[in-house]
Amino acid sequence: MRNFLDIRTLSFITGIIYFILFLAMVYIYMTRKTYPGFREWCIAFFLAFAGLLFISLRGIVPDYLSIIIGNLFAAAQIVLIDYGLVAFTGGKQRIGLHILSLAFLMATFLYFTYYSPNVNIRIIIFCGIIAFYCIHCVIIVYKRIHLILRASNWLLIVALSLAAFWYAIRFFFTLFLEDQISDFMAASAVHGMTLIISFAVNILIALGLIIINLQRVEHDFFMAKDEVKILKGFLPICASCKKIRDDKGYWNQIEAYIRDHSEAEFSHGICPECMKKLYPDEP
């Protein structure tokens, strides 16, 4: 079972899949309409790829790359997904929290790699941070996305919830039940299952992020279409002064009404006929 769930092979293959997802998202970012946060999601999947690539090279490259930088990049993925979701929904960023979380991970990994080596504690810290951010992302998607799009994205909610659930289980399993791990690459089958589940949910997360971007494109299209319909209907207009009555019964200058109900702007001039009437002496 342990050979089947070889950590090095799983890490490398998962990293390659993340790189493919990164390329797909970059293509969408460059060729389609996207919204704030999509760029950060692209970077997130590149960091996930780079992190797992370094992790898969454990024992081949220096520990500061395969342990410190590799896990830092892997954790930065969910941090950037969180950052992108907040940007997408127009919320207030908590950059200080993000920096503190990643700095804490880096500092503790340095300590438990070089000064007091302990693989179990590193896994506990990593899983705790990932579970926390996944839960926060679920809250953002559940509460804020619905307000913007008037629709939910259950694919993203379920994927992030599964990730949060599994990393929480991994956290408590390593904390209370798992034996001391002497070699990360020879970790138990549970760690192999963690990589497989992470692989699956990250594909779903990437699809969910792409879908909410498409949902917003559709939402904006239908909103714009509704605005155009306002100008297509019958407009009550005064036969004398040419003011237009709105749906609240107020009379507005035609320029003001059109400006408020479309993207048109006015620049004023005088037509030749009015020029003759107003300024007959002008050549």
Packing angle, helices 7-31 and 38-56, rounded to 10: 160
Structure tokens at 56: 């898969």
What average pLDDT does the chain have?
A: 87
Tell whether the torsion through CA atoms of 98, 104, 107 and 113 is positive or negative: negative
Domains in the chain: boundaries:
7-225, 244-278
> How far apart are the two ends of the chain, measured CA to CA in Å?
97
Beta-bridge partner residues of 244: 237, 252
Mean pLDDT, rounded, for 176-198:
80
pLDDT in tens, 89-122: 998 999 999 999 999 999 999 999 999 999 999 9
Burial 60-76 (b: 16+ CB within 10 A, else e): ebebeebbbbbbbbbbb
Sign of CA dihedral 25, 29, 31, 34: positive
Per-residue pLDDT at 207 exceeds 70: yes
If you average pLDDT over residues 181-196, what whole number do you get? 78
pLDDT at 259: 75
> How far is the CA of 187 from the CAs of 122, 218, 279, in angstroms?
13, 46, 92
Give residue 54's pLDDT.
95
Identify which of 105, 115, 122, 107 has the alpha carbon closest to the alpha carbon of residue 182.
122
Radius of gyration (C-alpha) of the chain in whole angstroms? 28
